[in-house]
Structures are given as structure tokens and as C-alpha cells.
Amino acid sequence: MWTDNGRPKQGAIFEIARTVKAKYKNAIRQADEDYVISVSDDLHDCLLRKDQSGFWQTWHSKFGCNKTQVNCIDGSCDPKVIADKFAAMFENVCNVDETVNNRFKNEFYSLYEEYIAQSADHRKLYIDVELIDRCIRRMKLRKAAGHDGIEAEHLLHAHPILINVLSILFNAIVRYGYVPNGFGNGIIIPLAKDKLGNLSNIRNYRGITLSSAIAKLFEMCLIELAQEFLITSDLQFGFKKKLGCSHAINTMQSVINYYTARGSTVNVCALDIVKAFDKVNHYCLYTKLIRKKSSSSVSRCNHKLVQQMFCLC
């Protein structure tokens, strides 16, 4: 309006323009201050929790190098063509050998029928409101929503009656062994594996799935109940709380230093299984869960918990 009226230097229109410009600059300053406070709070929370990985992840996300925008992938610049290429790549990654898959499938079903007969009381497992409330408070905040648009903040700040409704839903899933289709839907986002590498090469990207927050909550409840039975080797550092690559490197260095200090030669063999996480055969995984019950250290409760985990498929 100020421009259309010839940019006057005085008068009512000039005062309006001056006031609006001042508010705009003040809003920018306020946004900068809020951003700094938000970053400081996030870093402070990580320090209080002694979360070293989370601290540096927050630091790099806020103060890391600027991300280079890539408009072309594998010679294609059309967004739809690029999306189709990513879809084809992620689909091909998850393909398994049909012969091997059928063998594991037959083995699973043969064990599953016997397992069902031995675990007739699995329906007694109950997910109460206290467990759901505890898991909601442990969910990570400021995370992107899944296909349903529901974030962890929605669950955390919702009316308390929601917890009762979720308890009814989760126990119905456990009782009838049926999981809503929405629990299996997600949005796959490609992320660059090597940000200093060739960002136009589609092989330099891995996919992460944005799943439903309610589905994540259901999984957290099951894992919470089965936590004491999920025992892994002390030499496993991946996919475990408060452990990561730095711990694995430190262990390897300690072993090497131990033997080299005593005059021995150390030979190291590293095996990189490409896309190993995506290619795990689910029937083989379910079979291992069933066989887990044969251990004398696992109680009858574990039978029922493993039984419920099959609902997630």
C-alpha cells in the first residue's frame, strides 16, 4: 500500500508502513532469540541426561555445515521420476529369495501351530493405562509425523481419556491378534549416507520410515513388557540404548592395544553386509522368537509376549 501510493515520507500511510516495518524487524529478532533459547534447552537436556550421542546430533543439526540442495538424481531432474527411482530402489532392497523365503515360511508355520497349542493362555496379557502413560512420556518429541499426521506431542498433551481409549484398542489387538492396516503404513524419506560424497548418486541414500505415533506407542508397550527377556551379547553395540559406534571403536582399540603391548600381531577382519537390516527374513526372525521359549532361563510369560509380537506383522 505504501509503494502503490508513491512511497510517501509522511502522513497516515507512512505511519502504518513504519509501524509494520518495526513489528517485522522485532519479530525477526524475537525469532532469533527463541531459536537460540530452543537450541540451548535441547543441548542442556542432553547434558543432564548424559546423552552424548543426542548432544552431538543436536549440535550438528543446528550448527553443522549447510546442506547442499540437489535438483538432479541419477541424471533425472523431474520430481516424479526421482520419486519413482527411489521407490524402485527401496522396493528392490527389500526383495528376498523366494526359495529361501518359502523354506523359512514353512518352518515357521510348522512351529507356530505347536506354539499356539502350548500358549493357550496368551490372551491374559494386559496393557494397562499406567504402562501406556509411562511409554508416552518416554516418546521422543519434535519428530516428524507419520501418514496420519499424529505426533508424539499430540499424545502427550491430549486429554487423559485418550489413554483409556488406547488401552482398549491395544488390548483388543492383543486379544484378537489383528493389527490395523494403518500400523503398517509409513512415509519413506531418503537421507544421504555420505554428505561429502556424490549427492546426485541414488546409491548414496538410505531410506527411513516415518511410522504412525500410535503404532510406535504399541510397540513400546510390548517391548516394555518383554524387556527382561530381550537379552543380547555384551559385544553388540548397535540398536541398544546408550551404546553406539564410539563404544565399539573403544572396545576394538582396547583389544588391539592389549595384544600389541605384549608383542603380538593383531589381524582385523571387517565385514560390511550391504542392506543387511532391510534384508532380514521375517519368517526366520519369527522362528527364532518361537525357539527362544525353549531356553530354561525364560519363563512362561515370555511365551505369551513373543506370541503378541506376531501381531505386529
Instruction: Confirm if 150 and 183 have CB atoms less than 8 A apart.
Output: no
Rg of the chain in Å (alpha carbons)? 26
Which pLDDT tens digit goes with each residue over 128-167?
Answer: 999 999 999 999 888 888 989 999 999 999 999 999 999 9
Residue 296 has a pLDDT of 36
The answer for residues whose C-beta is within 8 angstroms of residue 285's C-beta and 6 or more apart is: none
pLDDT greater than 90 at residue 258: yes
Ordered by start, the domain boundaries in the chain are 12-63, 79-236+281-312
> By percentage, how much of the chain surpasses pLDDT 90?
24
* DSSP alpha helix (H) spans, 49-160: 52-63, 79-93, 98-118, 129-138, 152-156
Residue 305, number of CB atoms within 10 A of its CB = 23
pLDDT band at 275 (very low <50, low <70, confident <90, very high): low
Helix and strand numbers, DSSP H then E, in the chain: 11, 2
Instruction: Confirm if 46 and 59 have CB atoms less than 8 A apart.
Output: no
DSSP string covering 161-174: HHHHHHHHHHHHHH
Which pLDDT tens digit goes with each residue over 87-124?
Answer: 888 888 777 788 888 999 999 888 887 777 666 554 46
Q: How far is CA 269 from the centre of its chain?
A: 30
Which pLDDT tens digit goes with each residue over 232-241?
Answer: 788 888 878 7
d(CA 138, CA 141): 9
DSSP classification of residue 140: P
d(CA 117, CA 126): 20
Residue 165 has a pLDDT of 95
* DSSP alpha helix (H) spans, the chain: 12-48, 52-63, 79-93, 98-118, 129-138, 152-156, 161-176, 213-226, 245-260, 282-291, 300-309
Residue in the structure block whose three cell numbers are 519413482: 84
Q: Left (φ > 0), alpha (ψ -120 to 50) or beta: where does 53 sit?
A: alpha
For the chain, report the end-to-end CA distance as a whole number of angstroms: 60
Ranked by mean pLDDT, the top range of 58-67, 114-123, 154-163, 295-304 is 154-163
Instruction: Confirm if 282 and 98 have CB atoms less than 8 A apart.
Output: no
d(CA 212, CA 144): 10
Tell me the backbone φ, ψ of residue 183, rounded to 5 degrees.
-70, -20
Instruction: Confirm if 111 and 104 have CB atoms less than 8 A apart.
Output: no
Tell me the backbone φ, ψ of residue 112, rounded to 5 degrees.
-65, -40
Average confidence score pLDDT of the chain = 81
Instruction: Confirm if 208 and 189 have CB atoms less than 8 A apart.
Output: yes
Distances 195 to 114, 140, 201 between C-alpha atoms, Å: 50, 25, 11
pLDDT band at 33 (very low <50, low <70, confident <90, very high): confident
- Report the DSSP beta bridge partners of residue 251: none
Residue 118 has a pLDDT of 65
Report pTM: 0.65
- Residue type at 128? D
